[in-house]
Amino acid sequence: MQLAGYPDWQRVQYAGGLQIANVTEDMSGGVNLGFFNVQAWATLLCSVNVNAGSSTYQVQFAWYTAGVGGAQIAVTNLVYTATNTGTMYVPVLGPWVFIQVTSSPTTDHTPVTVSIYTSANLLSGYDALDRSTPLASDVSAYGINQNKVVTTNRAYAGNAILFLDVQSQDLCTATIEFWNFAVTPAWVEMSGVRLSGASGDMTALVAIPACPIRLHVFNGPTAQNVGVALTATT
C-alpha cells in the first residue's frame, strides 16, 4: 500500500513473508477470508493443508481496482485435494484481492488449514518446489492391455517435462489428467498431452494447471517394462 503524504513512497521496501490470512475451518459451506490491499507486493503464497477426505477445495483470488465497491479485473483459482497439499504462488493482478475458499462436494466437514503470505518478489511455481524428486515417477512391469495411475506428490502450477520410456516396439501411451473442480468433480484428460510409441525415450513439454494432476499409463498388446515421470522445469 502507498504511504499517504510520503513523497518518495516508491523507494520503501516492503518485506515479504507477512501473513495476511490463516484459518482452520470446516469449508463445506464456503469461507470468505475477506478483502486485502496487496498492491505493495508482487506475489501471494497460498499454503493449504488438506486432511484425508472426499472433497476438493478451491481457493479463489478475485482481483479488484479498490476494496468493497471496486471493479473486478481478474480471477485466479487454485484447487487442492489431500494428495496435492502444499504451497502455490499467485502473481498479484490488482491492488485489492478478495479471497474465498469453497469445497466440492460440500459433504466433507473435515477442517482445512489455509494460509496466505505476501512476497516482494515475482515468483513462479518452480521456485516453491523441492526439486530433489520428480512430481511423479514410476517404473513397473505391465501386462497386456494393463493401465496404471501414477499420482503426484505435491501441489504445482507451471511448466513440466513428461517422460515415457518403453521396453519393446509395441504401443504404450502416457497421458496427463487434471481434477476438474465442478459440482461433480472428475478426472479429465488434458487435451493434446499424450505420448505413445515404440522403444526408447519420449518427452513432451506441458503446462500444468493449478489443480491436482495425475499420470495415466496404458500399455498395449505386449507385456513390457514401462517408466514414466513428470518433472518440473522453468
Q: What is the mean pLDDT of residues 106-113?
A: 82
| Residues pairing with 58 in the sheet | 79, 102
CATH code of domain 136-232: 2.60.120.510
What average pLDDT does this structure show over 130-135?
Answer: 80
Mean pLDDT of the chain: 85
Q: Which pLDDT score is estimated for 138?
A: 96
Q: Is it the case that residue 119 has pLDDT exceeding 60?
A: yes
d(CA 156, CA 232): 8
Quote the pLDDT of residue 142.
Answer: 95
Q: Could you read off the pLDDT of 35-70 as tens digits, one per residue? A: 999 998 999 999 998 876 668 889 999 999 988 878
**Domain 9-123 in CATH 2.60.120.1300:** yes
Cell of 81: 485435494
Q: How many residues are listed for the chain in this entry?
A: 234
Average pLDDT over residues 203-217: 91
Local confidence band at 171 (pLDDT 50, 70, 90 cut-offs)? confident
pLDDT tens string 144-161:
999 999 998 788 889 999
DSSP 130: -
Q: How far is CA 46 from CA 19, 37, 114, 119, 183, in A?
A: 10, 16, 7, 11, 23
Identify the residue whose cell numbers are 520503501: 12
List where CATH 2.60.120.510 sits in the chain.
Answer: 136-232
Distance of CA 189 to the CA centre of its chain: 16
Write down the pLDDT at residue 129: 73
Contact 93, 75 (CB under 8 A): no
What letter would DSSP give residue 120? Answer: S
CB 115, CB 85: distance < 8 Å = no
User: Mind listing the pLDDT tens digit for each residue in 64-97?
Assistant: 998 887 899 999 999 988 766 778 999 999 999 9
pLDDT at 95: 94
Q: How far apart are alpha carbons 76 and 88 in whole angstroms?
A: 12
Contact 21, 115 (CB under 8 A): yes
Residue 11 has pLDDT above 60, yes or no: no
Q: Residue 26 is placed in which grid cell?
A: 470446516
Where exactly does CATH 2.60.120.1300 map onto the chain? 9-123
Please count the other Cβ atoms lying within 10 Å of the Cβ belonging to residue 8: 7
Q: How far apart are CA 215 and CA 205, in angstroms?
A: 14
Residue that wins the pLDDT comparison between 29 and 205: 205
Question: Higher-confidence residue: 53 or 141?
Answer: 141
